[in-house]
């Protein structure tokens, strides 16, 4: 899964195992330049996909079904959500500074 885009594209493809799948979903460093799909064969018969949120939420009913499935998994304990830091809402500026300085891991939660 690559959220960076242009700067990491080649390296991300090169680290895949044969028949691996590259999921590109962001452009933090810029758009991935056009590429020849013929390179995917010699690199190991790779797959590339570009999912978007709007491809998945095509109707209110579908969106609600997906939300229900997600919350059922979270409340069942099958999904572990890492909350590595909490900030009081009054300290939101500190939270922003920590995020911007890349001093956080996992999820950051604001509390009241």
Q: Nearest to residue 47, comparing CAs of 24, 22, 17? A: 22
**Mean per-residue pLDDT for 24-32?**
93
What pLDDT is stored for residue 79 in this prediction? 86
**Mean per-residue pLDDT for 48-67?**
93
What pLDDT is stored for residue 38 in this prediction? 96
For 70, phi and psi rounded to 5 degrees? -60, -50
Tens digits of residue pLDDT in 72-103: 999 998 888 899 999 999 999 999 999 999 99
**Mean per-residue pLDDT for 64-79?**
93
Predicted TM-score (pTM) of this structure: 0.61
User: What are the extents of the domains in the chain?
Assistant: 9-49, 82-112
- Report the mean per-residue pLDDT for the chain: 94
What span, in angstroms and rounded, lies between the C-alpha atoms of 26 and 53?
12
What pLDDT is stored for residue 71 in this prediction? 93
For 104, phi and psi rounded to 5 degrees? -120, 155
**Mean per-residue pLDDT for 12-17?**
96
Q: Is the pLDDT of residue 40 over 90?
A: yes
DSSP tally for the chain: helices H, then strands E: 4, 4
């Amino acid at each position: 899964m690559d959220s960076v885009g242009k700067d990491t594209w080649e390296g991300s493809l090169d680290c895949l195992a044969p028949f691996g799948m590259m999921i590109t979903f962001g452009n933090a460093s810029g758009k991935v330049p056009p590429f020849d799909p013929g390179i995917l064969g010699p690199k190991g018969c790779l797959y590339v996909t570009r999912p978007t949120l709007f491809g998945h939420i095509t109707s209110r009913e579908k969106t609600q079904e997906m939300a229900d499935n997600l919350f059922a998994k979270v409340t069942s304990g099958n999904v572990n959500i890492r909350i590595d830091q909490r900030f009081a809402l009054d300290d939101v500026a500190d939270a922003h500074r920590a995020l911007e300085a890349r001093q956080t891991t996992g999820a950051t939660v604001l509390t009241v």
